[in-house]
A and B are shown apart, each in its own frame.
Chain A
Amino acid sequence: MALHIAKRLLRTRATTPTVALFSAVDRSFSSTSSDLIRATLFPGDGIGPEIAESVKQVFNAAEVPIEWEEHFVGTEVDPRTQSYLTWESLESVRRNKVGLKGPMATPIGKGHRSLNLTLRKELNLYANVRPCYSLPGYKTRYDDVNLVTIRENTEGEYSGLEHQVVRGVVESLKIITRQASLRVAEYAFYYAKTHGRERVSAVHKANIMQKTDGLFLKCCREVAEKYPEIKYEEVVIDNCCMMLVKNPTLFDVLVMPNLYGDIISDLCAGLIGGLGLTPSLNIGEGGIALAEAVHGSAPDIAGKNLANPTALLLSAVSMLHHLDLNEKADKIQDAVLKTIAEGKYRTGDLGGKSTTSEFTKAIIDHL
């Protein structure tokens, strides 16, 4: 018995530091097959609860070993977090290290932080990963998109540090640090390696912003040397935009600072059909992963069973990939893609007439 534990200890210690840093499975000393992984679920507002329900049903049918811990956005500002998210919700994510978030509508008003900002700052979510691939069966003008955008999420142009110098002159600071750039570059290469991607492209504008984007590129190059099997290239942002709209197959994994990442990841979402179909995963310090649906809460169709759960489902799939539950992830992804490709059950935004529950049932049937 002691030998057993000793063997397992040695095995977990033998994993490379980067894997231990990012993997969420490396937690307990008990066997993972019978253990249920606890994950936090934020259903969110508007259509959130319906699509979260859809995800729960699909996961149940696929027998994914996940136990959901649901948390809701509070109705009053929690002084400990200065927002409508309670301290308990954040603690839950920190404890479980894995979560799924539906769309949240930040209430208008002062005296509290935006919900997304709260999550990002408190959980130190530094990388936003969006796998963009064309959905077979849902025709857009681009059929062969298969790329991943990894965006640095904490600094850059969105540091929020602005001030008025004199009347009519405003300055905004763009900050690039070595630490943050290294962090996101490490994650980008780690992601490329674990998901079998061949190339990582760093997107920049270092010919004009020589020091800031130059530092970002230097960090990317350092990390690239540690992964010689992955090809590394650098692309100027305007060139990148142009190539993306002409030929998206040229790119594989894109890693970029905050502003460029925002624009490029939304551009790629547009290529595959919009935010309603795009999965997204936020990675935080200590191996925290929070998958989220980036579309809005669509209050006009809330509660009417018309919402499209695809984005949340695909985000949950990327969460499963992060947890190393790869066959379950692939099973669910194939079911979703097959359902959409078939075309019989599609929700309104994809041009069909099915309800959320019919769509969910069709996916479960395809499992």
Chain B
Amino acid sequence: MARRTQSILKQLLNRHPPPLSTTSRSVTYMPRPGDGAPRTVTLIPGDGIGPLVTGAVEQVMEAMHAPIYFEKFDVHGDMKTIPTEVLDSIRRNKVCLKGGLNTPMGGGVSSLNVQLRKELDLYASLVNCFNLPGLVTRHENVDIVVIRENTEGEYAGLEHEVVPGVVESLKVITKFCSERIAKYAFEYAYLNNRKTVTAVHKANIMKLADGLFLESCREIASKYPSIKYNEIIVDNCCMQLVSKPEQFDVMVTPNLYGNLVANTAAGIAGGTGVMPGGNVGADHAVFEQGASAGNVGKQKFVERKTANPVALLMSSAMMLRHLQFPSFADRLENSVKRVILEGKYRTKDLGGNSTTQEVVDAVIGKLG
């Protein structure tokens, strides 16, 4: 009899996971006097679905009465360079929230996203891919943070035509950049209680370039003995991501592999519509959708106003923590998670058919 009740109890508990605690006492953060003064944040809506999702963030911030004041700037992907006033604003405010800039394919204009990162030296790009409770995906127990070197590597943009029909592109790896990204990755793991850092590389083929990256990672790893460090080749990594993603924790990668791994990880955990992310440097931080896989320009999302605001909302929660407003961040995040858990208001990429505005209203409604 006791055995049966045990299994019945287990069944009951598994079927109804405990809800996100709303009534229990929350953590108390003790601010310094004057921390409540409003902070200015640069806002770049961008192209395509950008204005839609940044509008969502603005609405939610207002509803929460968050001490954030947005300085909006109009930047489009087909501009030649980022206007200086935007860069000055970001340098002044130190924090920016960006929708998305659509890079025109194939000709002439170098990506504004890349330009922004280079100008402000945002050398680390961070994407947090995790399973949202209530969102059913093929993979469970996913909680991966991909930290990707953002300034050099394959995206250095140094290409030239040697002779007609033969084009060369330079992939540059420097010890300086590899070291600082490795340092950031291990520091992140240490500050966020993460257990493992995995370096992704292709050093069996690109022995010098990725070999240098690995060397830097190994050096930094020796300074954090409590954090486990291992290395994995990028093609094996992608294979493991689709079969056993629970083995990964924090991943540090050079530029190109990071792009692929981040998008793959985002895809297995629910799609790029829900993953938060941002770019951070020594002095500035730009928060945006974690892994944007080219949906910025998709016209039909713009027309039908069905872009998913969850990713940018979660990124703005990260931004609130970065600005040291942790309570607001927690409230926003919990509200978004509750909306996803409920499942009534979901945009098309999550399997529902709500519009952006409906999701935003639901989030505002659930703000505690």
Contacts and interface: CB of A to CB of B under 8 A. Distances in A.
Interface of A: 140-142, 157-158, 160, 162-164, 167-179, 205-212, 214-215, 217, 234, 236-239, 241-246, 259, 262-267, 269-271, 274-275
A172 B212 CA distance: 12
A278 to B, nearest CB: 10
A207 B106 CA distance: 6
A267 B241 CA distance: 8
Given A168-B175, A174-B169, A274-B239, 10 more contacts: A164-B208, A170-B211, A172-B206, A205-B256, A211-B167, A211-B169, A212-B159, A236-B294, A242-B291, A267-B241
B309 interface: no
A264 B263 CA distance: 12
Contact of B208 (A141, A163, A271): A163
Interface centre among A169, A241, A244, A246 (most CB of B within 10 A): A241
Nearest to A162: B208
B154 interface: yes
Contacts of A212: 159, 167-169
Given A168-B175, A207-B111, A270-B243, A237 B260 contact: yes
A173 B239 contact: no
Contacts of A211: 159-161, 167, 169
Interface residues of B, number: 63
B157 interface: yes
Given A162-B208, A211-B160, A274-B239, A241 B267 contact: yes
Interface centre among A158, A234, A237 (most CB of B within 10 A): A237
B211 to A, nearest CB: 8
A141 B263 CA distance: 18
B208 A174 contact: no
A173 B169 contact: yes
Contacts of B188: none
Contacts of B212: 168, 170
B155 A208 contact: yes
18 contacts: A162-B208, A170-B211, A171-B172, A171-B209, A175-B167, A176-B167, A177-B165, A177-B166, A206-B105, A210-B106, A211-B160, A212-B168, A236-B294, A238-B293, A262-B234, A270-B238, A274-B243, A275-B239
B259 interface: yes
A217 B259 CA distance: 20
Contacts of A171: 170-173, 209
B131 to A, nearest CB: 14
B29 interface: no
A64 B154 CA distance: 47
Interface in B292-310: 293-295
Contacts of B266: 242
Contacts of A208: 103, 111, 114, 154-155, 157
Given A162-B209, A175-B167, A237-B259, A242 B159 contact: no
A158 B168 CA distance: 12
A92 B205 CA distance: 28
A157 to B, nearest CB: 7
A168 B154 contact: no
A142 B171 CA distance: 35
A172 B242 contact: no
Nearest to A245: B267
B148 to A, nearest CB: 11
Contacts of A168: 174-176, 212
B235 A266 contact: yes
A265 B260 CA distance: 13
B234 A263 contact: yes
